[in-house]
A and B are shown apart, each in its own frame.
Chain A
């Protein structure tokens, strides 16, 4: 059923950013060497099953651990294991399997037991396929199966939210992901997920501006009373779990914990497509569609890349190197820096954004009309010219000054806390229950407050600092969350909350 438009208070719409990825998929050659992190997405590190010198095939499971919450990891090429080493991968030390490719063919070993007519498979067989394909490690809760792929078993899932809202400045193209045949596959995937989580209600949240897709979805879902479709405003950070749950379910979110604690599983569109491919085609999740966007990218396309491909292999020809640029994973607001191009991509990548690193001091910068400048205030032309492309860069755009209490940060904060107040407390060294009383633990670290602040106060950093200092003093967010939720076995249920 199609539900009316809905949203949340606060947030900010990043529209019309320069250089979105065009809805085309380019497939690259098999890389000569891949590095596969043994922890991808949700779950714990897994133990390698191969050793140096082993011959592996694309799609072969090279690491798996059935005793911890995790999902198997596969080789993504046919080749020989060159090395297994621990290295720094996005602020975390992870074991990496380095595989030297021996074969340029794109064949992938299938997982046995799949069937194009999945209706004939038993739940156990389906769950096994999902687990073995590795797709069950996607997104923040993972996909629950009877294997330990998520922190809750499938029958505990009350709500399944699948979203493609695209509220970041740059997003993977929804049109592309749900194009033609893939839309039908996606729907089959949804049905498969509904089958393994029988008690769940399925909620499809899509960007409200993609009318064509919504119409098609409505048509396809006409007789499914267990499924609702929600057109949502692409307002950042709508795509966050913390925002989807209150907007769609009208429920409080246990900030800081995984939505699985309240019986909600939230998945992306690629995860559902992965489920379909795993169950009906036996395909392990070793390929990912990644959008390349931003003004510093020469080619704005989507690439289909093997997991473990070095960033350099993907970006070398596509990144504009004439000027310095900053490459960021997934989100311009919260994403990690990808400037080390030797690092590989994993299952969780969806956008790679490159923007110019702008150190230039601009003459009388504040007097510019600003046809390409984005601002929360309506003071630049870009807000009024409908087609104006906003050009992001990494300049700070102004000096730091004392807070003027304009309350922009409070207006945009999606969880309705008062960032400038908390920041003042933290900066004055007042770290006590006041901070907790003002809900510092609700902060979802979306970074919007820092973005809008006209005096460039690093509010996000201050909030994180306050947060950490509180933790050091032994305060825990459980004290703020527990009274509202029945989170039994909280340690076990905690899972991974921030990727």
Chain B
């Protein structure tokens, strides 16, 4: 049986169920829009501080929000999988001859589509707030969010499938996500940070993705930051999907 046909089926089933209950899609959107409305104006004042990266405040802030959406939007999808596991849906799919890879891929694709739509709404709202950026930069920013979503969703599903319990998954997620967010420069650029903090943030691969997305929003595709961000995002996706597939194959073989 064809793995991509299978993944398509898993995708469309999952999508239908998500659309039937759009509450969490809306909640996922509301958060970045609140940031835009309640934190964005604050950032305008900081934009004149020495050390603030090039570009206007929105060009710096919106790519950060997009990456945040990619990270958080997809990191929590594992909870849905635990619910599916509990209701017996995963087991029911496992006794079919479907490709095991498709069981993962179909769900990840659903998450990525939801994420990119959310990102699109975010960008359009940001334009209303005053964002001005080259179109190709914005599109590449959206692409980065999608790639990040693939990574995070795969890893989230794999972790959830191993733990099989919300009580174990939630604390792990919190422990991991908070430092990743603080050290990525999503809210305030890390170029404002003292030396030791800046150096620490360089260990966090997601900080490169944020810098890359900012370069894209400036239209600065020749910048080293853009190249580094793209490469890191691609490598993370390969690692995440490989890990996810491995765990799915093992746990569902």
Q: Report whether chain A binds chain B.
A: no
Residues of A participating in the B interface, judged by any CB pair closer than 8 Å: none
Residues of B participating in the A interface, judged by any CB pair closer than 8 Å: none
